[in-house]
Amino acid sequence: MISRIYVIPKIKDSRERLFLKSWSSLGLSGKLSVAKVIDSYIIDYDFSKDQLAKISAILTNQNLEIGSVNEIPIAFDKYKYVIEIGFLPGVTDNVGNTTRETIIDYLHLDKNSDLKVFSSKVFLIGGKLKFEDVKKIALSLHNPLIERSYIENAKVIKREKSLPLQAPEVILEKRVPVIIVSLNVSDDELIKIGREGIEENGVRRGPLALDLASMKTIQSYFNKLGRDPRDIELEALAQTWSEHCKHTIFANPIDEIKDGLYKTYIKGATNLIRKNKGYGDFCVSVFSDNSGGIIFDEDNLITHKVETHNSPSALDPFGGAITGIVGVNRDTIGFGLGAKPVANVFGYCFGNPEDVEFIYKDKERKQKMFPPKRIMEGVIKGVNAGGNCSGIPTVSGFVRFDDRFKGKPLVFVGTLGIIPKKINEKLSHEKCALLGDYIVVLGGRVGADGIHGATFSSVAMDSNSPATAVQIGDPITQKKLSDAIIKEARAMDLYNSITDNGAGGISCSIAEMAKECDGAEVNLEKVPLKYPGLRPWEIWISESQERMTLAVPKKKWEVFKKLMDSRGVEATVVGEFNNSGRCVVKYDGRKIMDIDLEFLHNGLPAKPLKSEKIVHTYPEPKMLIVSRTKILENMLADKNISGFSFISEQYDHEVQAGSVLKPILGRGRINTEAQVFRPILSSKKGVVLSSGICPSYGDISTYHMAACALDTTIRNIIASGGTLSELAILDNTCWCSSYDKNRLYELIQAMEACYDYSVGYGTPLISGKDSMFNDFKGYDEKGNPIAISIPPTLLISGISIIEDIYKVVSPEFKNAGDSIYLLGETHDELGASEYYKLLARKAKNNSIGNNVPKVNLGKNIKVYNVIENLIQKELIASSISLTAGGLIVALAKASIGAQLGAKISIKNLPGEVASTDVALFSESQGRILVSVSKKNVSKFEKIVSEIPHIRLGQTIKETKLIVVGDKDKKIIYANVKKLHNIYHSFSNKMS
Amino acid sequence: MIKKTNKKIKIKKPKVIILSGYGLNCEEETKFAFERAGGIAEIVHINDIIAKPKMLEEYHIMAFPGGFSYGDDTGSGKAYANKMRNHLKKELDEFLSRDTLAIGICNGFQIMTNLGILPGALFYNKNGRYLDRWVDLKITGKSPWLSGISKISLPIAHGEGRYIIDKTEYKKMTKKNEVAFTYMEGEICKYQNLEKNPNGADYDIAGVLSFNGRVLGMMPHPERAMFFHHSPLWQSKKDKRGKTDDGEGIILFKNAVNYFKK
């Protein structure tokens, strides 16, 4: 029997006003007047009337709401249409699941009862509206890939009293569970299988992303075995060999670099740095685990990992982002024996949110991509839900905009963790599944969601991109799992190994762990499913979320299972680790996969890559004839410079009570470039975080782009109080068209810079991730083919330790009368700067110049050492790193942050400063702007005498920003309050 | 509601039980704050209490910490309160009938209103969005938790923090000094130019009391203000710090512990 319970707000609901506001911006033909939001629960179970009334009562807060069964008890006359938004069958419905649990607990039903609950939201809408308008509203409320919408005339609902009593259940038709795929076919057919997937009843299943060489290798492997592969075997190989999992572009030989980019430049740099550091080496576990781990203090390690979730976020911004953040949390839980997540970080690159021209995946223009604004809103909300729900502070982040991120946004998400060095007398970063250990899957159940995620992110996005690649996050299921493991099972020594189920699902996690003891056998029918009817290959590679795989010794299973049951976490034995050297999968007793681990992991044929040099040159821009005060205002209004407090303040950055340097600071609430937190409350040590990303520089040179990203990260950290000798970095490479020889050349250049500068600064790379195909191929509004590729982008994230958090220095000025100094040299490095980009935009051309900033290691190290010394001696009042926009933007931010004025002169800056524009706007690296109170000036000047520096002027009480040049000529005269409003205008518009 | 209280007990180190499970997430820092204030604090999973409900008798203070129990599904605090009521109603009533203290912070507050041990309810913020910022509070209630404080600044972080109460109930509460604190324009609001009431709460209410002030529910997080460096103003007050690591928020926890010492 199917019933519906409605929960209707009886107080003034502020959401109504917000919905009306948001819908009115959809360009409707008529005018909206009223709206109402109602929660609906479809309940599929034979409950009595009395029971239903009781259920309705417990789902209702009597102070706020009215509960009702099978009837919406309100006056319908004001309303014209009813829209219901629920999930598509099979899509994880968290609210439905919680409701089910509540009802089972309340009515003492069996845990495995066949009660089903489906949640949805019902919107009643009134006004002068056409059906077309309502369709637009419905579309703005849901994502058709995962949600369903139902529109009905309010009169009908009034007559029927209720929405239809139907349950959105998954009904999978009975299909052949395992099919055999013949590979003794033509090369063309092999290519087709690799590109479009296995054929079944005339339909292709979706990309395996295997090229001909790989297909031929597989063909000959099975020919040697004397049989054809089963579908699950091909799917498993495709997952394990995917670009996403094997990072083939970084692993393969390229030009003369025979060990490949990763081994040569990334691992190579870290190995050398560790050797150079000797006893000062603080790396403990790098590149071998889910996250990188370094020493935090005598007893603890701190871990960090940054992931990308670009392709899923393009298709389902909310779902892509939430599964991104909750997924990277698992890289922390999966570090060693399990680290506790202590901080989240984010980074977004979006298209222009004002861009409303649609693009389509298909020529017929039926598959519309989301416009940048919708992607932005969904992504921000996804990390909001994932991070906030998990109780992990989101302490650090950035956002950038460029039209080239319209086809695929970049969504970086990262998590830091803390773990004791030793647990139960054993080194916590070491783990090993042992012979005979149970293979245990823990957490969420498996559905058809997220199938082909790994192979899908290894190809460009087009109309073949699979809808099932979308996943839904359930942070609470994971929170329960995380707490049960990190806070209880870990100390009880209940498992030998643990890893995350990410890309490729259990096919990758089990095969990966199987390496630890050289073999595994799985009984796939044991894997708990969300609904019946999934076939073995789907179960094996599904990327359903919130799951970890563990190796649990048989004699500890009972205790482990009992603990997990009492914490509401589902744990299931699905097989056993062995030393057979094979990965064997059975389904109902029948062997359906049997592959050598050696072939599975190392069988992928090497594919030497070739690059081809390319040099970019651009016209120099034409100078504008407007006041520089106006230019400064224009720059602060630019989304790449202005504040984004609307994002920072909707992320909980204070949970866990470690907040030291917040993402938004000062009277003027500026966004900080670096953030500090205290991961262990009983210790005064802190962690300093920052990042650097400068895709525009890559338009001129990816070598200098990478160098500047690295220098910016380090500089931001040092400026806030971090320590160069205890600073580690992470690399996230997001590239495009990665088989293009020029793009490969640019990639090599970037990696060379990573090597040169990480070795130069002695900052090891401890973890990284790449995403190599951020290309979109589709059609514009007129049906013309278009291709949009992202600019090659390297994100460097940094982490450093500070001994005493109370020494941290924030960026905003402190008191009027403090002296302002610039440390470091300024040169004519305006190429691809924010200023030149502004000029190019005004001129509507690509005149971004060519003098991209270059990093001078020797000089910068000296500056950074001096800053460290100054901060240790507590001689500076404020400190801000010069980044996008150069000196004038840093000065403006320090002023806005403090709501204080400043009067400075830009005469005689150290370096080669040929013009006022260079002085104000050049983005030369290695520079930091500090303020010093009167009492510290003489001590300060003594210490800075050894590096290039200049006293620019001082802070003043009057809220004016005054810059003078030669002969005391006023160059800038700006009102700080006005700059403040401009700085916040973008954020205000978005909130 | 049972309002009877037993005779006052004197204890050197009161025992604090902090509930956990199903997505509550501020239990560790809440424990740290109680211990820093001189109590003995333990985090106990709700299912472990359900398994041994008698254990509540050992404790003097109960804390419902902040978090996202059940992901706020079906409404914040509702599902956790249902679980509590289904299994522990009797024991909870018994606990509150003794001379004990209880506190609900943020999600804990939402749970307590759903349980009916605090009046009113919490609904979506007026701007419909989760918000993390600091607020200034004026102490208006009478409670052991609040002794010696007239105003305090603390952080909030919530999506459903708009306190709802009807007029008659409100009048009764003010008479009994059961409005714990209200949002006011103080140091932080002035400093950062923020509106005083961040979520549209009725009568600017940020926290309420019951059981003669022994039970406190509040949206702001005192445990996130226990250190000096927690305040958004700390960088400009560095000179005034001296050697202390204490922030304003610790006072509430010290008050609770001291209640049993006196």
Minimal CA separation from B81 to chain A, in Å: 10
Q: Indicate if the pLDDT at residue B3 is higher than 70.
A: no
- A1-45: per-residue pLDDT in tens? 899 999 999 988 888 888 988 888 888 888 888 999 999 999 999
Do residues A390 and A332 make contact, with C-beta atoms less than 8 angstroms apart? Answer: no
Chain B residues with CB-CB distance to A665 below 8 A: 232, 235
- A207-241: per-residue pLDDT in tens? 888 889 899 999 999 999 999 999 899 889 988 88
Nearest CB neighbour to B164, from listed A7, A64, A806: A64
Q: From B125, which residue of chain A is nearest by alpha-carbon distance? A: A14
**Residue A572 sits in which domain range?**
179-247+431-606
For the complex shown, is ipTM > 0.90?
yes
Do residues A415 and A509 make contact, with C-beta atoms less than 8 angstroms apart? Answer: no
CATH code of the domain containing A689: 3.90.650.10
A344 in a domain, yes or no? yes
Q: Indicate if the pLDDT at residue A661 is higher than 70.
A: yes
- What does the block give as tokens for B236? 């400009």
Residue type, A27: G
Residue B1 contacts A, CB cutoff 8 Å: no
- pLDDT the model gives residue A465: 46
**Max CA pair span of chain B:** 53
Residue type, A865: N
Q: Indicate if the pLDDT at residue A471 is higher than 80.
A: no
Do residues B190 and B166 make contact, with C-beta atoms less than 8 angstroms apart? Answer: no
Q: Are residues A578 and A444 in the same domain?
A: yes
Chain B residues with CB-CB distance to A677 below 8 A: none
Q: What percent of chain A has a predicted confidence (pLDDT) above 90?
A: 72
At A446 the three-state DSSP class reads strand
A485 Cβ contact partners less than 8 Å away, ≥ 6 residues apart: A333, A338, A442, A498, A548
- pLDDT the model gives residue A450: 67
Our answer to whether residue B223 is catalytic in this structure is yes
Label residue A466 by pLDDT band (50, 70, 90): very low
B7 in a domain, yes or no? no
Picking from A538, A516, A553, A519, the residue whose alpha carbon sits closest to that of residue A587 is A538
- A742-787: per-residue pLDDT in tens? 999 999 999 999 999 999 999 999 999 999 999 999 999 999 999 9
Range A440-462 average pLDDT: 69
Chain B residues with CB-CB distance to A491 below 8 A: none
Do residues A500 and A333 make contact, with C-beta atoms less than 8 angstroms apart? Answer: yes
Label residue A258 by pLDDT band (50, 70, 90): very high
Minimal CA separation from B206 to chain A, in Å: 17
Q: Which of A427, A450, A484 is the last residue of a domain?
A: A427
Nearest CB neighbour to A657, from listed B114, B224, B236: B224
Q: Are residues A452 and A371 in the same domain?
A: no
pTM of the model: 0.94
Q: Are residues A448 and A309 in the same domain?
A: no
- A367-399: per-residue pLDDT in tens? 888 999 999 999 999 999 999 999 999 999 999
Mean pLDDT across chain A: 92
Check CB contact under 8 Å for B124 and A14.
Answer: yes
Do residues B164 and B152 make contact, with C-beta atoms less than 8 angstroms apart? Answer: no
Label residue A204 by pLDDT band (50, 70, 90): confident
Q: Are residues A317 and A400 in the same domain?
A: yes
Q: What DSSP state is assigned to residue A790?
A: P
B174 in a domain, yes or no? yes
B4 in a domain, yes or no? no
- pLDDT the model gives residue A468: 54
Check CB contact under 8 Å for A657 and B32.
Answer: yes
Q: Are residues A304 and A364 in the same domain?
A: yes
- A912-932: per-residue pLDDT in tens? 999 999 999 999 999 999 999
B6 in a domain, yes or no? no
**Residue B210 sits in which domain range?**
15-261
Check CB contact under 8 Å for B128 and A652.
Answer: no
Chain A residues with CB-CB distance to B79 below 8 A: 98, 101-102
CATH code of the domain containing B192: 3.40.50.880
Q: Indicate if the pLDDT at residue A366 is higher than 90.
A: no
B8 in a domain, yes or no? no
A688 in a domain, yes or no? yes
Q: Indicate if the pLDDT at residue A537 is higher than 50.
A: yes
Q: Indicate if the pLDDT at residue B4 is higher than 60.
A: no
Nearest CB neighbour to B74, from listed A9, A95, A665: A95
Check CB contact under 8 Å for A655 and B155.
Answer: no
Q: What DSSP state is assigned to residue A492?
A: T
Residue type, A650: Q
Q: Are residues A374 and A505 in the same domain?
A: no
Q: What percent of chain A has a predicted confidence (pLDDT) above 70?
A: 97
- Distance in angstroms (rounded) separating the CA atoms of residues A47 and A58: 15
- pLDDT the model gives residue A505: 85
- Distance in angstroms (rounded) separating the CA atoms of residues A456 and A102: 37
Check CB contact under 8 Å for A14 and B200.
Answer: yes
Chain B residues with CB-CB distance to A39 below 8 A: 74
Q: Are residues A324 and A190 in the same domain?
A: no
Range A145-161 average pLDDT: 88
Q: Indicate if the pLDDT at residue A455 is higher than 60.
A: no
- pLDDT the model gives residue A467: 47
Label residue A460 by pLDDT band (50, 70, 90): low
Q: Are residues A73 and A137 in the same domain?
A: yes
Number of structural domains chain A divides into = 4
Number of structural domains chain B divides into = 1
Label residue B2 by pLDDT band (50, 70, 90): very low
A632 in a domain, yes or no? no
Our answer to whether residue B106 is catalytic in this structure is yes
A640 in a domain, yes or no? no
Range A702-722 average pLDDT: 98
Minimal CA separation from B7 to chain A, in Å: 34
Beta bridge partners of A122: A38, A84
Q: From A663, which residue of chain B is nearest by alpha-carbon distance? A: B232
Minimal CA separation from A108 to chain B, in Å: 10
Q: Indicate if the pLDDT at residue A568 is higher than 70.
A: yes
CA B108 to chain centre: 7
CATH code of the domain containing A351: 3.30.1330.10
A486 in a domain, yes or no? yes
- pLDDT the model gives residue B1: 43
B56 in a domain, yes or no? yes
Q: Indicate if the pLDDT at residue A991 is higher than 90.
A: no
- pLDDT the model gives residue A210: 86
- pLDDT the model gives residue B21: 95
Do residues A987 and A643 make contact, with C-beta atoms less than 8 angstroms apart? Answer: yes
Q: Are residues A242 and A295 in the same domain?
A: no
- pLDDT the model gives residue B9: 65
User: Parallel, antiparallel, or unpaired for β A765-771 and A727-734?
Assistant: parallel
Label residue A587 by pLDDT band (50, 70, 90): very high
Chain B residues with CB-CB distance to A11 below 8 A: 123, 164
Helices (H), B26-139: 27-36, 46-51, 78-97, 107-115
Minimal CA separation from B126 to chain A, in Å: 5
Q: Indicate if the pLDDT at residue A837 is higher than 70.
A: yes
Q: Are residues A354 and A461 in the same domain?
A: no
B157 Cβ contact partners less than 8 Å away, ≥ 6 residues apart: A388, A652, A654, A655, B66, B106, B130, B131, B132, B221, B224
Chain A / chain B CB contacts < 8 angstroms: 179
Check CB contact under 8 Å for B23 and A656.
Answer: no
- A266-302: per-residue pLDDT in tens? 999 999 999 999 999 999 999 888 899 999 999 999 9
B74 in a domain, yes or no? yes
Phi, psi dihedrals of residue A832, rounded to the nearest 5°: 60, 20
Q: Are residues A122 and A200 in the same domain?
A: no
Q: Indicate if the pLDDT at residue B261 is higher than 90.
A: no
- What does the block give as tokens for A108? 């003492």
Q: Are residues A888 and A943 in the same domain?
A: yes
Q: Residues A518, A524, A527, CA angle at the centre, nearest 5°? A: 110
Label residue A977 by pLDDT band (50, 70, 90): very high
- Distance in angstroms (rounded) separating the CA atoms of residues A646 and A388: 15
- B35-65: per-residue pLDDT in tens? 999 999 999 999 999 999 999 999 999 999 9
Q: Which of A105, A125, A160 is the last residue of a domain?
A: A160
A942 Cβ contact partners less than 8 Å away, ≥ 6 residues apart: none
Our answer to whether residue B230 is catalytic in this structure is no
Picking from A767, A623, A789, A632, the residue whose alpha carbon sits closest to that of residue A698 is A789
CA A623 to chain centre: 38
